[in-house]
Amino acid sequence: MKIRVAIAGAGGRMGSEVVRALQNEKDLSLTGAANPAFAGQDAGKISGMDSLGILVEREIEGILASCDVLVDFTHPDQVYANALLAIEAGVRPVIGTTGLTSAQIEELEKRCREKKLGGILAPNFAVGAILMMRFAQLAARHFGSAEIIELHHDQKADAPSGTAIKTAELMLAERKRFGLGNAPETEKIPGARGGSLDGIRLHSIRLPGLVAHQEVIFGGKGETLTIRHDSLSRESFMPGVILAIRKVMELDGFVYGLENLI
């Protein structure tokens, strides 16, 4: 029996990529799509394909009744409400939109646990990015100073990226604080040193031409270590999205981070 998948954010760059990716998977079926900017249009055509016979709805309420999984690539302002609606309808959310607060993530975990329903939030679906985070976590055991630079396209709405935050969280699981030996600083331009999470400085770059990139730079006595990942196209995220769709059907709770599934 095929897993029925609906997409919130269909027609967007990531949503369109998911529409195309689903067509190559025999056990997955696209059953619905939502995006107010493309309402009434065929989901296949707006994704650069032939017609699929699935018209894009304005709101997700119109697609939840016909799907098992809701894949969300929308906007930080919309994703939380979308996930709550999906869970209430008994639909498993697979969330790629970043920008959720810790309190919102905790509430989604609670709702999924109460309903014994699978859910996945992945700041990054690229397998290489997951490995980059793991390697950074390992390196954090050996280096007490580190900074994260994340680079994304100029249409990304939130900063720092969810991947950068998740990377810092994993590093802090190994070491409670970084940069303890840093000299006192004075920023001549506010924000020049980026944001700080327990001593890990996070810097966000937004430029046209970029997709999704991150490097973690560690500093030690007489050496530095740089761990970097680059997504050169949105195709890099699709194996992780497909994996998450399949895995979420096996879960009875909410999972934060694709690294917990691979």
Q: What confidence tens digit (pLDDT) does each residue in 8-24 have?
A: 999 998 999 999 999 99
When pLDDT is cut at 50, 70 and 90, the band that residue 28 belongs to is very high
Catalytic residue status for 203 = no
Domain ranges of the chain: 3-121+235-260, 127-231
Cβ–Cβ contacts within 10 Å for residue 80, how many? 20
Beta strands in 96-211 (DSSP E): 119-121, 145-152, 195-197, 200-206
Question: What CATH fold (topology level) applies to the domain 127-231?
Answer: Dihydrodipicolinate Reductase; domain 2 (3.30.360)
Superfamily designation of domain 3-121+235-260: NAD(P)-binding Rossmann-like Domain (3.40.50.720)
Q: Report the alpha-carbon distance of residue 199 to residue 225 in Å, rounded.
A: 17
Residues in contact with 168: Cβ distance below 8 Å, sequence separation at least 6, in sequence order? 148, 197, 198, 200, 202
Q: Which of 152, 203, 213, 247 is catalytic?
A: 152
Summarize pLDDT for 169-184 with one digit per residue, the tens.
Answer: 999 999 999 999 888 8
Q: What is the pTM of this model?
A: 0.81
Catalytic residue status for 156 = yes
Q: What is the mean pLDDT of residues 179-201?
A: 92
Q: Which of 45, 115, 156, 213 is catalytic?
A: 156
Contact 127, 242 (CB under 8 A): no
